[in-house]
Amino acid sequence: MSSTPRSDSVAAALDAQSGTGQKTAGMSITTFMASLATAIIVFAVEFLLFILLKGKLTRIYQPRTYLVPERERTKPSPPGLFHWIAPVFKTSNSEFIQKCGLDAYFFLRYLRMLLKIFAPLSFIILPVLIPLNKVGGKNTRAVPNMAGTRYNVSGLDQLAWGNITPEHADRYIYGCCLLTLLDSPINKAGKLQIYIHTAKGVLIEVSPTVRIPRTFKRFAGLMVQLLHRLSIRSTNSQEKLLKVIKNPITDHLPPNCRKVTLSFEAPVVRVNDYIESLGPKESICVFVGAMAKGRDDFADGFKDDTISISNYSLSASVACSKFCHAAEDVWDIV
């Protein structure tokens, strides 16, 4: 018996859901309000059914009032449509533990903790982030140096965090590069040193033990704090996790170091082979341009070599990852 028709039907059912995310791109306020109104109506109907059926279907909604042993039973909810709401908030923790057990109590405590943390934060963060995303984003502005071409960020997408202009996109790039480098085995093995050279000429040394925040907002705040204080210390010790150091960067590189820049126009080499070509006491310093646009000749004054590591254009984070993996393979770092 052939199973082709059944397989085709399953594939068709799965494909029917493809592109769902793209369909909501650029959703207008009117469409959003219509969807919200529909959701509110459905919620109201379900809530009304719950209120009407709660007292009649006690085996489903109030089983602990009579199906469990006497010492574990809870009081039935008071009669009335909305009188059951007050006991939900007034039941003491000790009674909840006695009737439902520690597992249920700690789960409820966990939910309460999340509510207390994120509910106030939403009222503080959203009024700040949403206007910033709208004002500083691409929206439908004209694309620089491309006459007659405009960005196509419309509707609610203008309020999203991804609505950022290309001149500010490098804020994401070097954050991704740092996460890639700091989480790599070669860094945890103590074989990697990271420096950041900003467009304004500020040179920053990154400690291998620093933990970079996973959210852009916290990361940006950390960098602003660094530029004000010139260093960031560990909370548990006096170690400087980030610090501003004096230029030029060549004063901080190890001796007998091969300084390499990356260029798509340079000859393509295999990273493993290139690292294996290093001398016994020779180290390597790779300069990666973590920027969305601009000149990449920041290291031309002291570079020793320029190479390309792929036949394709790579992001800065991927380039960092390729070098880390290659060095780990060659130097037997697992």
Domain assignments of the chain as residue spans, ordered by start: 137-165, 169-330
pLDDT digits (tens, 9 = 90+) for 208-264: 887 766 666 666 667 777 767 788 777 677 778 888 889 888 888 888 899 998 888
Distance CA 296, CA 193 (A): 21
**3-class DSSP assignment, residue 275:** helix
- Class of residue 105 by CB neighbours under 10 A (exposed 0-12, middle 13-18, buried 19+): middle
Higher-confidence position of 207 and 29: 207
Reported confidence tier of residue 62, pLDDT bands at 50, 70, 90: confident
The pLDDT tens digits for 9-18 are 544 544 544 4
pLDDT at site 46: 93
Q: What are the tens digits of pLDDT across the range 280-318? A: 889 999 988 877 666 667 777 888 999 999 988 888 888
Q: Which pLDDT score is estimated for 326? A: 92
Encoded tokens for 54: 């709660």
Q: For residue range 14-38, what is the model confidence (pLDDT) as tens digits?
A: 454 445 444 555 567 787 788 889 9
pLDDT > 90: percent of the chain: 16
* pLDDT of amino acid 165: 64
When comparing pLDDT for 319 and 296, which is higher? 319
- pLDDT recorded at residue 68: 79
Of 298, 294, 317, 295, nearest to 167 by C-alpha is: 294
Residue 276 confidence (pLDDT): 92
- In contact, 197 and 248? CB cutoff 8 Å: no
> Given a cut of 80, is residue 129 above it in pLDDT?
no
pLDDT for position 269: 92
Query: Does domain 169-330 bear CATH number 3.40.1280.10?
Result: yes
Average pLDDT, rounded, for the chain: 78
CA atoms within 13 A on the CB side of 329: 13
